[in-house]
Chain A
Amino acid sequence: MSFDIALIIDSIPKMLMGIGLTFQLLFLSLALGTALGVMLLILRISGRWYLSWPTMIYIYIFRGTPILVQIFIIYYGLPQLEFVRDGIFWPILREPFGCAIVALTLNTGAYLSEIFRGGVLGVDRGLKEAGSALGLSVTDRFIYITAPIAIRLCLPAYSNDVVSLMKSTALASTITLLDMMGIARTIVAETYAPYEVFISVMVIYLIITWAIQRTFGWIEKRMSRHVRQ
C-alpha cells in the first residue's frame, strides 16, 4: 500500500475549510444543550412528579438511542409530517444545518442534565441547611450556594461531554453538511484514498480534543484554586 503524503498536504487545507461549520455545530448545540440541560435539571429535581416523570422519559429516550438515529428521524422523518411543515419550526427543520443543531442539542441536553444532577446531588446537605438557616429563599440557595458548588463538581464530566459532542458533529456529514468530515468524505469519494484522508481528519479532531481538554483543565484549576488545598 502506498501512502500519498502529497494528498494529505493537499487535503488538510480543504478539510480545514469545514472547521468553521464543525465549530458552529459544536458551540451552538453546546450552548443550547447547556440551557436545555439546566431546564431539564430544574424540572427533574422540582419534586413534582408531573414535571420530573416526563423529564426522565425524555432523558431515557435521548440517552438510550443512537444519535445517528435521532439525526435521521429529525432530518428524514419530521418533514413527512404535515403539521411540522406548517409549523413555526419549519424554517429550521427544512435545513440540514437546523436539523443537525436540533438533534445535537436534544441529545446533549439529555446527557448534560444528568451531569448537572450529579453535581447538585454532590453538594453537601449541610451547606443547603446553612443557607436555609440564614433565611435564604429556595431560589437564592440554588443560585448562590448549590449552583456554584455543583458547577465545580460537574466540570470534569462536562468537559468529557463537550469532547463527545465535538465528535458527534461529524455525524452531520450524513445529512449532506460539509463540515470537516463531510469534506473528508467528498475527497475520499473523488480520490479513493481513505487512509490518507481519514487519518488526516482524525489528527485534526485530536488537536481539537486536546484544545478542549486544556481549556477545561485551566478552568478547573482556576475555579478550585481556593476551594481545596
Chain B
Amino acid sequence: MSDSDVMSENIIQLENVDKFFGDFQALKNINLSVKKGERIVVCGPSGSGKSTMIRCINRLEEHNAGKIVVNGHELTSDVKDIDAVRSEVGMVFQSFNLFPHLSIVKNLMLAPQLVRKVSKAEARDVAMKYLERVKIPEQADKYPSQLSGGQQQRVAIARALCMNPKVMLFDEPTSALDPEMISEVLDVMTDLAKEGMTMIVVTHEMGFARSVADSVVFMDEGEIVEMNPPQEFFENPKSERTKLFLSQILTH
C-alpha cells in the first residue's frame, strides 16, 4: 500500500495539535487518527479537553499548532474549505441547538437547501426519511419547544444526517437529558454505528462505549492519556489516571 492509501483510509487525522485559550493550554500535542467506519468514544474528567478536541475537528475552535486533516482537507483559515469540511462532518451538541423559530422538518431542510442546493421537495423527502429513522415522523410540523429533550436530540441527529455526512461528532449528546430519555438517544446512535457511520462520541455512557466503540480514548488535562479497544480499556487500564477515573465513574 502506498502512503496516499494510508492517508485516505484515515478520514480524520490530528497531528501534534495544540490549543490555547489565552494562557491556558486546552490541548497538548494531540495525535489521533480515525479510519472510515471507526467508532471512537472519548471520555475524561470535565475540563480535560475532550469537547475542545472534537470542536477543533470542524473548526468551531481553531487550533494553534499542529495539523488537522478531515476527509483530505487540511483545516486552515481558508473559509471556503472550512464550509466544505463542515458540510461533510455532522455534529450533535449537548444542548441540541435546534433552531427555535423553524418547525422540526424545516430544521432538517435548511442546510440541504442552502448548502447542497437541493429542491424544497427533495429536502422534505430526505428530512422525512431521517425523521422516520429516528422514529418521530409525526412531530415534523411541531416546533422544537414542543418536544421533549430526548426527541429534540433525535431531531438534532436527524438534522445532521440530512447532510449525508461522512463523519458524525457527538459532544456529550446525553448529558442534558433526563435519565429516562438517555436510552432513546443512545439507541439511535447505536443503530447509526451498526450502519457503519464513522463516529467520534464524547460521552460518559460507559455501557455505550463498551458495546459500540472500536476504541476508547481517555483524556486528562488536555492530553490523550490512553487509547485502547473497550475490553482492554476497561479491564486492563494502563495509567493511574485512567484507573482513578474509571473507579470514580464505575462505582456508582
Name which residue of chain B comes closest to A143, CB basis. Answer: B114
B67-94 CB contacts (< 8 Å) to partner A: 79, 83-84, 86-91, 93
Q: How does the 8 Å CB contact mask read for A145-178 relative to B, with 1 for contact and 0 for none?
A: 1001100100000000000000000000000000
Taking a contact as CB atoms under 8 Å apart, the answer to whether B87 and A226 are in contact is: no
- Chain A residues lying within 8 Å of B118, measured Cβ to Cβ, are none
Q: Which of A129, A132, A149 contacts B100 (CB 8 A)?
A: A149
Chain A interface size, under 10 / 10 to 19 / 20 to 34 / 35 or more: 20 to 34
A40 to chain B, nearest CB (A): 24
- Chain B residues lying within 8 Å of A124, measured Cβ to Cβ, are 97
**Stretch touching chain B among A48-56, A101-109, A134-142:** A134-142
Name which residue of chain B comes closest to A126, CB basis. Answer: B97
Q: A140-B114, A144-B110 are in contact. Are A134 and B100 (CB under 8 A)?
A: no
Most buried by A among B84, B98, B114, B160: B114
Q: Number of B interface residues at 8 Å Cβ cutoff, please give it.
A: 31
A136 to B91, alpha carbons, bound, how many Å?
13
Taking a contact as CB atoms under 8 Å apart, the answer to whether B146 and A152 are in contact is: no
- Chain A residues lying within 8 Å of B93, measured Cβ to Cβ, are 126, 129-130, 133
* CB of B234 closer than 8 Å to a CB of A: no
B106-161 CB contacts (< 8 Å) to partner A: 110-111, 114-115, 142-143, 145-146, 156, 159-160
* CB of B163 closer than 8 Å to a CB of A: yes
* CB of B99 closer than 8 Å to a CB of A: yes
Chain A interface, DSSP helix/strand/loop, else mixed: helix
Taking a contact as CB atoms under 8 Å apart, the answer to whether A134 and B143 are in contact is: no
Taking a contact as CB atoms under 8 Å apart, the answer to whether A135 and B115 are in contact is: yes
Name which residue of chain A comes closest to B101, CB basis. Answer: A148
Taking a contact as CB atoms under 8 Å apart, the answer to whether A137 and B83 are in contact is: yes
Name which residue of chain B comes closest to A152, CB basis. Answer: B101
Taking a contact as CB atoms under 8 Å apart, the answer to whether A127 and B97 are in contact is: yes
Q: Which of B84, B90, B145 contacts A228 (CB 8 A)?
A: B145
Name which residue of chain A comes closest to B111, CB basis. Answer: A134
A172 to B94, alpha carbons, bound, how many Å?
54
Name which residue of chain B comes closest to A127, CB basis. Answer: B97
- Chain B residues lying within 8 Å of A149, measured Cβ to Cβ, are 99-101
- Chain A residues lying within 8 Å of B99, measured Cβ to Cβ, are 127, 130-131, 145, 149
Taking a contact as CB atoms under 8 Å apart, the answer to whether B86 and A135 are in contact is: yes
Q: A127-B99, A145-B99, A227-B101 are in contact. Are A132 and B145 (CB under 8 A)?
A: no
Taking a contact as CB atoms under 8 Å apart, the answer to whether A134 and B86 are in contact is: yes
* CB of B52 closer than 8 Å to a CB of A: no
* CB of A2 closer than 8 Å to a CB of B: no
* CB of A65 closer than 8 Å to a CB of B: no
A131 to B159, alpha carbons, bound, how many Å?
11
Name which residue of chain A comes closest to B87, CB basis. Answer: A135
Q: Which of A129, A136, A144 contacts B60 (CB 8 A)?
A: A129
Taking a contact as CB atoms under 8 Å apart, the answer to whether B90 and A133 are in contact is: yes
Name which residue of chain A comes closest to B84, CB basis. Answer: A135
20 A-B interface contacts by CB (under 8 A)? A126-B97, A129-B60, A129-B97, A130-B98, A133-B60, A133-B90, A134-B87, A135-B84, A135-B87, A135-B88, A135-B115, A138-B79, A140-B115, A145-B99, A148-B101, A149-B100, A149-B101, A226-B143, A226-B145, A227-B143
For the complex of A and B, 8 pairs with smallest distance between CB atoms: A135-B87, A130-B97, A134-B111, A133-B91, A226-B143, A135-B86, A126-B97, A135-B115
